[in-house]
Amino acid sequence: MRGIGEVARASGLAVSALRFYDSAGVLVPAEVDPATGYRRYSESQLLAARLIAGLRRVGMPVAEIARAVAHLPDPPAVRALLDDYQQRLEDGLTDARHELTRLRHLLAPGLNSLEITMTSISLPADALSAALDAVRFAASIDPDLPMINGVLLETRPDSLTLVATDRYRLAVAESAATITGPPTRLVAPLPFIDALRPLLSPGIVTLDLTPATISAQTPSGRLDTSPLDVDFPDHRALTSAAPSADARSIQADAPTLRAAVHAATPIHRDLQGTPYELAILTLDPTGTLLRTADESDWSEDSPTHIAVNREFLLQALAATGPGQLTLELDGPIKPLAVRTPTTYSILMPVRH
């Protein structure tokens, strides 16, 4: 048996706190001296005292602390209680960040606070990482085309869509997210996107969007920028175009197709003095599998052939990750589409 002072020192709880939890029925001593009222605790109660001390430090209410102590003989049940409380803390922190961001904008000089609207997006960091990786390859800096020098952020009631394009290809990724505020459509500058990606360690990310600011609160830090004042291309007009009667949807294993494209002999071309390589894809005789082809097999009249920039194709395939994907072939002069359940990219064809 341990005295109350010894338990206080070993657990980090003050003697007065131990008396409080006794009176609250949370941690009742194993025995109390009837003459002196001195409390004694069993060895097993020391673990409960340490648990209480930790839960006090994170602000858990007394009633929930009592539940955790009562479930100590069942460790998985206690872990479930801890997980639930942690999630509530994280949700509360997200709400607090939203409100603090709103207040910062409220105090911003030169802005009419009554006209400020903000949309907040919360999602797991790994989901945002995957979405960024699925579109970043299709974006580039072009001083002559400022409207494409960023990544489009577009919200729906329960999802975030990211879009990037450099005219020769377009990539779209969608991720489930918690959205509060009005629908919004802003273009984040590429330097902001590239600075954000390394900050996406495990946890929850919050993006706060206003017409004047984009703020990202990540587990590794905060990042702020201003959206680009540009008219981003209408990606839906490209991705929702009706296919022709000859269009084919082909299932493929992403790693296998990447290996085949790597192994195929590159076809060298030049665009305005810049060299690049082609990859030619064609349907096999059964019409069910895309395979690489030689230049001698390339026919612009055949609906089963298409030639695309080899580097662009490899990047698009790498962005899908492992597993199955769908390639949509609609003849030699229409874009090649690469689709997964949450991503979509198109590559413009190359003509003879």
CA angle 288, 298, 168 (to 5 degrees): 85
Report the DSSP beta bridge partners of residue 214: 209, 225
Please state the φ and ψ torsions of residue 57, each to the nearest 5 degrees. -65, -30
Contact 161, 173 (CB under 8 A): yes
| pLDDT tens, position by position, 113-169 | 445 578 899 999 999 999 999 999 999 888 888 878 899 999 988 899 999 998 889
**Is the pLDDT assigned to residue 10 strictly greater than 50?**
yes
DSSP class of 164: E
* CA atoms lying within 13 Å on the CB side of residue 341: 5
At 199, the pLDDT band (50, 70, 90 cuts) reads very high
Distance CA 174, CA 155 (A): 10
Residues β-bridged to residue 185: 154
> What is the separation, in whole angstroms, between the first and last Cα of the chain?
89
Place of tokens 């341990």: 2
What predicted TM-score, i.e. pTM, was given to this entire model? 0.64
With b meaning 16 or more CB within 10 Å and e meaning fewer, what string describes 222-247?
A: ebebebbebebbebeebbeeeeeeee
